[in-house]
Amino acid sequence: MNSAYLLIGGNIGNRLDNLVKAGDLIEAVCGSILQQSSVYETAAWGNTNQPSFFNQALHIHSFHSPEELIARTLNIELEMGRERNEMMGPRTIDIDILFYNQIVLETKLITIPHPRLHLRNFVLIPLNEIAAGYVHPVFKKTIQELLNECPDPLDVHKISSTN
């Protein structure tokens, strides 16, 4: 059994419903969800001329390899209407693999750990809620330490709790 941390998010349509649907589809085709963070809202990062995003971190157990897992998450994005028209553009759903066990992997399709997670509050804050002590396999720092050092100035606001 493999342990993976994912970040799901989107800013088109009913953002909360899209997170719930993505979670259901992840559980159906990727693996069981062990933990999920609260839902957080953040202004768009990078391409800022678009609606704000809802994001949530998930911890899953999966029998799939990293390549199989990314293929399945990309299919979920397509099924939910994701269109890749512009870099960092608006989207119904985005599913990123942040960590997969403690591996370091770089292929044409995927880089694990996610190469920019340590630069983004909207990733670190929800991830810290469910995995504060998880040690990044490259930086050898916990998620809490990475969050404390994060240079991202964007505010992240909790929308709903997991309870």
Give the tens place of pLDDT for each residue, 119-137: 999 999 999 999 999 999 9
Evaluated on CA atoms 28, 34, 37, 42, the torsion sign reads negative
Residue tagged active-site, from 72, 82, 120, 152: 82
Going by pLDDT thresholds of 50, 70 and 90, the confidence category of residue 162 is low
Mean pLDDT calculated for residue range 55-73: 97
8 Å CB contact between 120 and 128: no
Question: Rounded to two decimals, what is the model's pTM?
Answer: 0.94
82 is a catalytic site residue: yes
| Alpha-carbon span 92 to 51, nearest angstrom | 11
The dihedrals phi and psi of 75, each to the nearest 5 degrees, come to -65, -40
Per the DSSP assignment, residues forming a β-bridge with 55 are 9, 40
| Residue 37: strand, helix, or coil | coil
Mean pLDDT, residues 49-64: 95
Residue 94 annotated in active site:
yes
Do 93 and 56 touch, CB atoms closer than 8 A?
no
The CATH number of the domain holding residue 93 is 3.30.70.560
Q: Which of 72, 96, 116, 155 is catalytic?
A: 96
Q: Which of 91, 116, 120, 152 is an active site residue?
A: 91
- H or E segment at 157? strand 156-160
Looking at the 3D structure of the chain, how many domains does it have?
Answer: 1
Spatial contact of 8 and 23, defined as CB atoms under 8 Å apart: yes
pLDDT at residue 87 tops 80: no
Calpha distance 72→156 (Å, rounded): 28
Annotated catalytic, 96?
Answer: yes
Full residue range of the structural domain in which residue 137 is found: 2-160
Q: Which of 15, 72, 94, 120 is catalytic?
A: 94
